[in-house]
Structure 1
């Protein structure tokens, strides 16, 4: 029976207010839950050696995340070609070399390309590189007029002058505050960034992203255990790494996967999938990233799957409002990156991303790092604001909101100087 419009509206408003009321922002309301031990297998065997971790426990954890959370990639797809679209040996007032490189992929009569914007410090050989996606186009991270504007689909955003899903020059430089390019270059590191919408547009439509190149006949959507957008974005980071291995100016053994928010989730999954990444930085990655799911604090699995149904694989929806039935939690995703350096960062006002849940994930992942003789998080309580822990597993919570700041980059550079030089 069809309800009258006014009753339908009332029910909708009630459901919205009920959903909002259920959002937990008070520690006293966090449900009791069990933290699954990274060093105990699904069958109850305790892991006590690196060999058992790498041959038994790590593979079963990775398979679970791959098939139940992020989705597996159905086939390996290699770079068909790469092309240097533009280069300048005197960029950033003479401090850096700039290069814009297009990677192209072809399969099943379809083509997809994405462009890496790369800044490398001059007079530095075999450069270590921070690699991460941006949200609104390569041209937004710098005032540099030579940076090309992507023609890929973009979500409409009045603040970035994006209409008709088209990026324009009006948004050039609007995200410079998130990318401390000169600090990075002055420290002797390179920066590489990609507009994430070129790999997979951030919308619930799998017709024009990288997934569509690998569909079987008559397939229009990834299978239940196949890649959502986060897995696709992680794939793109690994393809950039494929290119870096061909570039003599880059030390491909010292590439750090970086990401903020949803792209922090992608950086973590890329680091778990691809051991070539020398380190991983997750900045305010929250639910489905660094934050523990079973705490149900701030954003939850049910909410994230409702708002962004394309991010994770379809199987992940089995756990909507049923986090307790997950056999894993996000600290075990972090553990998959061991023994490589890992940095988890939170912001004090970003309660939606659950800073405490992010800290606890880093803490609970540390037992795997200790198995390798690496130093993880060695305190049980969160550090005070703006007091970073710079171990192999690093963590800080800073003042401010959901963002990337100069303070964040200063800590990342200091940490990289210690562990990745």
Structure 2
């Protein structure tokens, strides 16, 4: 697969030397890979956890027909450009003598109707009831709380709060996908403080552009035990080299605010990128990763999403896990559960469905979170 697409060797350092051990991976190659993605793709965030970060929580018992406790958390922070709030919604199973619970955190890119805190409007995009019924806490945040999904010159959201540049914004400055990933990490800061949550068993998940953000958050932040990417396509789970459907140029032209300015220099020349998305997946190792595709989602290119997973397998093997091995591309509704790695192809179009969620939780049940 690596040779066929001309991919960068995930186990060969920038100096050309082969990575032979987990220690070399952790001390040399993984930091190199993250630095390359910051420089050329997602951008370099100016701050990690703000010193000003606080949490304000409202708790409501007896939700979901008495099966859950609802927590509405305002994650607050401030910087040179003002103050911001990310709203985290959380339903925790309420069972006598059980807990703390593993959790799924969804980076929601579909607006507030999909995450109704009253649950008068249920959506398969975030089936909180089913997640709780299977023994997981269901957490969600709206990514636009961190940064609006518009090309505004990165003046609003967390960019406006924390960026302070003299003159032109740097070509490697963080962009919108990086801001959303930053929000996921701040949600994890809260989840670590919640006694009802097992912070060592938290999955970050996202669909489409949210899936791009979940992968970047999970690659950066080793506190996430499982990283789930649903139909994230270009600059998400799918390889850029040899990709069908949406290309680097197509995504940069349509969504210029998602990635940093350096990334635009690779429009039409993916082969010149010093990275490809198998390296992002590999940066999650040895933690668990799950990628999902839909057979009619040609824009995302399921074959390229699956190829990226297989191309990351050598890093999982370095850590003692076989990943998905050399399993062939599966038929629809034939999920694959390997060692710390899973995949399914669903019949249908670009969406996040109840079927997808059931497979994510099957994978978690098989050992990723339990």
Q: TM-score, normalised by structure 2?
A: 0.94
Matches of 1:361 and 1:207 in 2, distance apart?
A: 34
Matches of 1:109 and 1:399 in 2, distance apart?
A: 46
SS at match of 1:328: coil
Identify which of 179, 189, 193 aligns with 1:246: 193
Residues 135 and 285 of structure 1: is their aligned pair in 2 closer, same or farther, counting only changes over 3 Å? same
Matches of 1:127 and 1:313 in 2, distance apart?
A: 37
Structure 1: gaps of 5 or more residues: 1-31, 146-171
1:306 equivalent in alignment to 2:279: no
Q: Give 1:137-152 correspondences, 5 Å limit.
A: 137-142=111-116, 144=118
1:73 equivalent in alignment to 2:45: yes
* Post-superposition offset of 1:144: 2.0
Matches of 2:262 and 2:275 in 1, distance apart?
A: 14
Residues 323 and 104 of structure 1: is their aligned pair in 2 closer, same or farther, counting only changes over 3 Å? same
**Corresponding residue for 1:204?**
151
**Corresponding residue for 1:399?**
347
1:101 equivalent in alignment to 2:73: yes
* Post-superposition offset of 1:143: 7.4
* Post-superposition offset of 1:121: 0.6
Matches of 2:309 and 2:60 in 1, distance apart?
A: 40
* Post-superposition offset of 1:43: 2.5
**Corresponding residue for 1:128?**
102
Q: Give 1:346-357 correspondences, 5 Å limit.
A: 346-357=293-304
* Post-superposition offset of 1:40: 1.3
Matches of 2:169 and 2:22 in 1, distance apart?
A: 35
Larger radius of gyration: 1
* Post-superposition offset of 1:222: 4.3
- Note if contact 1:222-1:228 (Cα within 8 Å) is conserved in structure 2: no
* Larger mean Cα displacement after TM superposition, 127-136 or 360-369: 127-136
SS at match of 2:102: strand
- Note if contact 1:143-1:176 (Cα within 8 Å) is conserved in structure 2: no
**Corresponding residue for 2:55?**
82
Matches of 1:114 and 1:408 in 2, distance apart?
A: 26
* Larger mean Cα displacement after TM superposition, 71-80 or 93-102: 71-80
Matches of 2:327 and 2:360 in 1, distance apart?
A: 22
* Post-superposition offset of 1:77: 4.0
**Corresponding residue for 1:256?**
203
Matches of 2:110 and 2:245 in 1, distance apart?
A: 25
Matches of 1:143 and 1:104 in 2, distance apart?
A: 19
* Post-superposition offset of 1:36: 1.7
* Post-superposition offset of 1:379: 2.6
Matches of 1:398 and 1:137 in 2, distance apart?
A: 24
**Corresponding residue for 2:279?**
332
Residues 222 and 198 of structure 1: is their aligned pair in 2 closer, same or farther, counting only changes over 3 Å? farther
**Corresponding residue for 1:278?**
225
**Corresponding residue for 1:386?**
333
1:410 equivalent in alignment to 2:361: no
CA displacement 1:165-219 (0-9 Å, x = unmatched): xxxxxxx73x702122222111110111011111100000122210111122666
- Runs of 4+ with >3 A deviation: 136-139
* Post-superposition offset of 1:57: 1.1
- Note if contact 1:121-1:189 (Cα within 8 Å) is conserved in structure 2: yes
* Post-superposition offset of 1:140: 2.5
**Corresponding residue for 1:267?**
214
Matches of 2:292 and 2:56 in 1, distance apart?
A: 35
- CA RMSD in angstroms comes to 1.7
Matches of 2:101 and 2:199 in 1, distance apart?
A: 8
- Note if contact 2:107-2:204 (Cα within 8 Å) is conserved in structure 1: no
**Corresponding residue for 1:236?**
183
* Larger mean Cα displacement after TM superposition, 280-289 or 59-68: 59-68
**Corresponding residue for 2:83?**
111
Residues 217 and 410 of structure 1: is their aligned pair in 2 closer, same or farther, counting only changes over 3 Å? closer
Paired residue total? 362
Matches of 2:79 and 2:227 in 1, distance apart?
A: 30
Matches of 1:109 and 1:260 in 2, distance apart?
A: 30
CA displacement 1:269-289 (0-9 Å, x = unmatched): 001111111110000000000
